[in-house]
Chain A
Amino acid sequence: MNKALSFWLILALLTQLSLLSACVSTESQAGVENNWQYQKDSFIPGETSQADILALLGPPSQIIALQEREVFYYLKEVAKRKGAVLIVYNKLDEIVRYERAVFFFDENGQLEQFSISENEN
């Protein structure tokens, strides 16, 4: 009797899990398009100007005015979510990755320094 009850209980549980379980995977993006990754060679300190950068990459996400410099900050935000919904146990993970490019210009608008984040794709 007990064994039969356990058997049906486990069978019902497994059936429920197999019917209701699910996997989730979503991705969202924000910010500007990452056009800098493939144009690294076009950025030359001392030669490239603000106008060149704007022509190549478009409007930056942010412009920061420092005392002796001006910074163009380009940012793309990529959020990936993955999860397993097994009813009894559920796990949802979100990883937010940032692709960045910063360009520092001197007082004459010439590129002084730049840095691009490593592309993990």
Chain B
Amino acid sequence: MQSFFSVIVAVLLSTILCSCSQFTTHLDAPPPNTNTGLTTSYGEVLSRYGPPGQIHATPTGFYFLYENVKIKENQVGLSLDFLMPDIFSFVFGKGSAHLQSLLIGFDSRGFQTSLTRSDWEEDLGKGRGLQFIFAPLPLVDDSSLRVTAPQNQWGAELLFQQDDKIRIRLANERLMLLGAPLLPTPAVL
């Protein structure tokens, strides 16, 4: 009798629960675990930790940004065999991100003036989809974290003559997330 119920449960589960998927994305290496103090020169920082992910100019100096992002999305697919033909299924996804960053500020002479480290988890939300046949695709919107490297967009930005105010606003949004001082004047390329 027990085995009969086991088979029934197995059949029901195999009918309803059709799949689960996992998507992971690693963007760049983790930032260095730095102990550099004030008055360290930018040359020493470069030789110890390598090139930063981004370099921002400010009216009083410049910043190095080292950044690492890990994005994870888990999905569960539910079959709709009992409602529709078996080519459709419902898919539920939930995403999260782990962000690490290190922001080092320098004065105009190239000596370190500040160091800010950030490490936080971010809930990317949920996504639902009605799937036709089968195709494992991410459902959670992580486009805000999957931006193309700004260095690879720089030339195109020059061609399109993007408004300075927009670029400053974008840079300030990024700096605000990191708790760094904002840019008061159009000084970033």
Which A residues form the contact surface with B (CB < 8 A)? 2-3, 5-6, 9, 13, 20, 30-31, 61-69, 71, 73, 75, 77, 83, 85, 87-98, 100-102, 104, 112-118
Contact A13 B51 (CB under 8 A): no
8 nearest CB pairs, A to B:
A115-B46, A61-B151, A100-B51, A90-B21, A62-B154, A75-B151, A62-B151, A90-B136
Which of A67, A91, A104, A118 touches B21 (beta carbons < 8 Å)? A91
Give the interface SS of chain B, mostly helix, strand, loop or mixed: mixed
* A90: B residues at CB distance < 8 A: 19-22, 136
* A85: B residues at CB distance < 8 A: 136
Binds A, one of B25-33, B115-123, B164-172: B25-33
Contact B21 A2 (CB under 8 A): no
Which B residues form the contact surface with A (CB < 8 A)? 3-4, 7, 10-11, 14, 18-29, 42-43, 46-47, 50-53, 55, 57, 61-62, 108-110, 134, 136, 148-152, 154-155, 189
Contact B61 A61 (CB under 8 A): no
Quote the shortest CB–CB distance from B176 to chain A (angstroms): 21
